[in-house]
Copies of this chain bind each other. A is one copy, B any other.
Amino acid sequence: MVRTETRAAYREAILDAATRVFGRLGFQDAKMADIAAEAGVAAGTVYNYFKNKEEVFRSILQRTHELVYQRILVHQRLEDPIERMRASTREAFDFLEEHGALFLLYVSIGGGFDWAQKRIEQALIDENHARYFALSQATLRDAVERGQLRSDLSIERLAVLLSGLTDATIFSWVRTGCPPASARKPTP
């Protein structure tokens, strides 16, 4: 058991380090040696936990998605769909503010910009995106059923719109540098 815990600790430490390094330098410029150094382990050690650089990357992505998803999931217990939506969105933006670099990383891949990676990661991205999307659609459907939303709109299209707006905000944010002034404005 201790062993298992130790292994897990190492793994987390490496992922943490990799997250920082990738966030700082991007995928290509981040060297395995950098990651190892940041994690305080030897270069070879990283390979005891991850097959290669790509898998380190993929693992970060997966871990992050899981984290955000879990956080958002919590808000699904809220009774009111509108509240649920609002809380989820805020959660996403809160995460953004906390983990800027990480999100950059996510976006850079999610956006499909880093081709080399895209080939490999797209499936992963899509799968996760689908999870969020399903959540979003469920909430919207709920709202329609409760009469809080017009029923003559395509749920899917609405979900796409919402997702698009979020992406747009992130995109602008990223483009302009970072702090999206209005992001934390109190919702009226």
**A residues adjacent to B (C-beta < 8 A):** 24-26, 28-29, 104, 107-108, 110-116, 160, 163-165, 167-169, 171-172, 174-175, 177
Q: In the complex, which residue of chain B has the Cβ closest to the Cβ of A169?
A: B164
Instruction: Decide yes or no: A26 and B115 within 8 Å by CB, A165-B168, A168-B167, A171-B171 being known contacts.
Output: yes
A-B residue pairs, 10 tightest by C-beta: A168-B168, A26-B115, A108-B113, A171-B171, A164-B172, A113-B113, A28-B28, A29-B116, A167-B171, A164-B168
Q: Judging by beta carbons under 8 Å apart, are B168 and A175 in contact?
A: no
State how many copies of this chain the complex holds. Answer: 4
Instruction: Decide yes or no: A111 and B174 within 8 Å by CB, A168-B165, A168-B168, A169-B164 being known contacts.
Output: yes
Residues of B within 8 A of A110 (CB): 175
Residues of B within 8 A of A164 (CB): 168-169, 171-172
Residues of B within 8 A of A172 (CB): 160, 163-164, 167-168
Q: Judging by beta carbons under 8 Å apart, are A107 and B116 in contact?
A: no
Quick one: which of B104, B115, B169 contacts A29, CB cutoff 8 A?
A: B115
How many whole Å from A70's CB to the nearest CB in chain B? 23
Residues of B within 8 A of A28 (CB): 28, 114-116
The complex places the Cα of A181 from the Cα of B160 at a distance, in Å, of 12
Other A-B pairs beyond A25-B115, A28-B116, A167-B168, 6, CB < 8 Å: A26-B113, A108-B111, A110-B175, A111-B111, A163-B172, A164-B169
